[in-house]
Structure 1
Amino acid sequence: MNGNPARPSRRPAVEHAAWIFYAIAALGSTIGQIWVGVQNPPWPDTLPWWWRAAFVAPFAIVIDLGGAVTAAFADWRQRLGEAAYGWRILSAATVTVGVTTNIVGHADVAYLAVVFGGLGVFAYAIWLMHSAARRRDALRASGKIADTAPVYGLAQWWREPAVTRRARSLALAQQLPLHQSLDTARQQLRDDKRRSALATHVETLIRSRHDDPVRADIAATTLDLDAVAAALTAQADVPGWAHVIGADLLPPTPPDREAHPDVKRETAAVAGPMPPADVLRRVPQDQASYDRWRLLWAELKADPDIALAAFAQRHGISLRQVQWIRRTGASGLLDSPLTLIDRVAELAGSNGHGPHQPSSAS
């Protein structure tokens, strides 16, 4: 594309080589036609061959030069926006005459027919492609044709033809690189599909508000359904819906069969579900660690949408411990200033077992 830094240094050398090739090919084709003109016409036997060559050389040169001149005229008029059919047909006809002369005139020697005829065909084909490339470059530099799009490859076209077509248009219109144009095209197609489906539902809703089918048609036709769909998309509360749906996807809490019976009775009235036994065993029994859990739970409860990983990193604890604190706090077991073991002892004493006394050493 336009940003290729190597093109200015390589292109002149290539074009110089092309002009050298044209000169050699044209000279070879002209020699072949002169050879035919020297041998085939019924010249007098007394006329030397160099006189014959001098007589036919202008006609051979005119034929080869005429093909190049008419092709150049065609290229010039095409750069101005014309089709130039006349110049192109005349150029092709002139080259056909020269190639036919070489092939038919050297029909008795296949090698000479192939060499001289092939030189003319090969040189003319390369000239046409070369002039077409120069014409496109000139038109592109003047802004009359679009710049070239990235090359996406056959595999990409085969996998995602619709995406690749959209990406190619975006690359030409917005000068996007290959991967960015593909990403933008995929996003646009997803948005178009969603907006089209939403517009269909909006139309159905609008029609349902009118009993008269004519008024329903007027209402549905008057409104820009795509604009309504875009406005609805902009107003959608995506985080709110994600929060609601995520709450419904939480796994059920397994039944706790290993907790102490007194703990079950003490926590029967709490709002949250009972945490499993492996979590209950990790609730701190010393007052200092328990108070720290209560402080952390209060912070979690104040900001329920906080990222647990960031919370764990902030307080220097593991993510698993944060999950334990949240499950224990949600069950209500961190609401009391007393540790869990103290509340069990207090509950046992209130049931007639007496105050909790530590066992003495024997």
Structure 2
Amino acid sequence: MTLDERHRQQRVGQRTRHSRRPTVEHAAWVFYAVAAIGSTIGQIWVGVQTPPWPDTLHWWWRATFVAPFAIVIDLGGAVTAAFADWRQRLGESAYGWRILSAATVTVGVTTNIVGHADVAYLAVVFGGLGVFAYAIWLMHSAARRRDALRAAGKLADTAPAFGIGQWWREPAVTRRARSLAVAQRLPLHQSLDIARQQLRDEKRRAALASHVETLIRSRHDDPVRADIAATTLDLDAVAATLTAQADVPGWARVIGADLTPPTPNSDVDADAERNPAALPVGPMPPADVLRRVPQDQASYDRWRQLWAELKANPDLERAEFAQRHNISLRQVQRISRIGASGLLDSPLTLIDRVAQLGGNNGHARQHPASAS
């Protein structure tokens, strides 16, 4: 998902939220009004019945006297909560306003519950209205405060919903992905992939740093100097540098060469070991190339060694190989061509093999004559 698409989705989501918010806000305020009126009625009811009023004083006069106090209690809880929310938006803790708001609501709820204790239904209804309304008000104001802080850039964006299954399977990966998604505004799956890679790299780098520390300590006989060296160096930085310098393709070639299946040349090598004088059956190179095969044993062994190295590293550049061994590129090409024909598989030089084969053939021709 591109950045433009992400911003487009965010704008669509914001428009959707803004279009739904007025309806939700209106319903919330209607609920607060009904709950406040209900709580106030319950407190007025208690005020009309509980105090020792004169019998000659009608109930509506009692309600008139009690109503201001009941209204002040409910309104005070809302006003102090609004003040607390306002100061919290400015970055303050507003503990005083929050404590005063909770104390005011507690007085109103306690009045309703204790005053209607003889009728459980009325105690639950009037007391529950106050508790329920105040709890929803706290959550509502907290949500509005977070929206305002987020719009002002004072609050981090929300992270994607990873789901309970993802948290259960990979808690460490999900925790890292959540931080990455919030910090870099990454989508869900990309943040998970990056988190997995980071944790793998950190685990490998920590193991490598441990080995580096062991190596550094082994270079010093004095344990104090070993501690100084191991503490002075940034082992994580050394491990990261070693990882960057690692010849991964080279190791892959070496390991891959050991895992390749046997080739027909392996059978030729086995035949050469069993019968060093045997000549290869494959296509022979031209005469001008054959004349370049060394006749002395030392030079021939040198060619065999170079061919074995070429055969073990088929992806190695010929120019690099020639420069490494201080020989010409043409000579490397000759060694490759002659080695591919099988003429370098035997430990005997070509002339020695021809001579040995000639002697064996002479014995084979003379043996039947001697038998007759």
- Distance in 1, matches of 2:203 and 2:63, equals 74
Aligned residues: 280
Instruction: Please name the residue that 1:125 is paired with.
Output: 135
Q: Does 1:198 align with 2:208?
A: yes
Higher helix share: 2
Distance in 2, matches of 1:56 and 1:98, equals 13
Cα contact 1:199–1:228 (8 A) shared by 2: yes
| Equivalent residues in 2 for 1:126-275, closer than 5 Å | 126-252=136-262, 269-270=279-280
Counterpart amino acid of residue 241 in structure 1: W
Instruction: Give the TM-score normalised by structure 1.
Output: 0.69
Distance change in 2, residues 1:271/1:19 (3 Å):
farther
Shift of 1:109: 2.2
C-alpha separation in 1, matches of 2:50 and 2:97: 31
User: For 1:227 and 1:104, how far apart are their aligned partners in 2?
Assistant: 68
The residue number in structure 1 matching 2:301 is none
User: d(CA) in 2 for partners of 1:194 and 1:237?
Assistant: 16
Q: CA deviation at 1:184?
A: 0.6
Unmatched tracts of structure 1, length 5 or more: 258-264, 273-300, 306-329, 334-350, 352-362
Q: How far did 1:229 drift?
A: 1.4
Which residue does 2:50 correspond to in 1? 40
For residues 220 and 280 of structure 2, the distance between their equivalents in structure 1, rounded to whole angstroms, comes to: 51
Question: 1: CA distance between counterparts of 2:124 and 2:242?
Answer: 72
Aligned partner letter, 1:202: V
Residue in structure 1 matching 2:61, options 33, 45, 51: 51
Specify the SS of the correspondent of 1:130: helix
Give yes or no for the alignment of 1:9 onto 2:37: no
Q: CA RMSD in A?
A: 3.4
Distance 2:281 2:66 in 1: 112
Q: Return the alpha-carbon distance in structure 1 between the equivalents of residues 99 and 38 of structure 2.
A: 23
Displacement of 1:66 in angstroms is: 0.6
> What is the Cα deviation at residue 82 of structure 1?
2.2
If the length of structure 2 is used for normalisation, what is the TM-score? 0.67
Asked if the contact 1:79/1:135 (under 8 Å) is kept, the reply is yes
Q: Is the 8 A contact 1:270 1:331 kept in 2?
A: no
Match of residue 68, structure 1, among 63, 68, 78? 78
**What's the counterpart of residue 78 of structure 1?**
88
**Contact 1:103–1:114 (CA<8 Å) still a contact in 2?**
yes
Query: How much does 1:240 deviate?
Result: 1.4
1:81-102 per-residue CA deviation (whole Å, 9 max, x = no partner) reads: 2222221121111111111221
Q: Which of 106, 130, 133 in structure 2 is aligned with 1:96?
A: 106
Q: Give the residue type in structure 2 aligned to 1:112.
A: L
Is 53-62 or 164-173 further displaced after alignment?
164-173
Q: Which runs of 4+ in 1 moved over 6 A?
A: 254-257
> 1:30: which partner in 2?
40
- Give CA deviations for 1:191-219 in whole Å, capped at 9, x if unaligned: 11111111222222223333333333332
Q: Aligned partners of 1:212, 1:247: CA distance in 2, in Å?
A: 43
SS at match of 1:13: helix
Percent identity, aligned pairs only, is 85
Relative to structure 1, is the Cα distance of residues 253 and 113 closer, same or farther in structure 2, using a 3 angstrom cutoff?
same
Q: Does the 8 Å contact 1:271/1:331 carry over to 2?
A: no
CA contact (8 A) 1:206 1:216 kept: yes
More divergent stretch after superposition (67-76 vs 214-223): 214-223
Cα displacement (A) at 1:124: 0.6
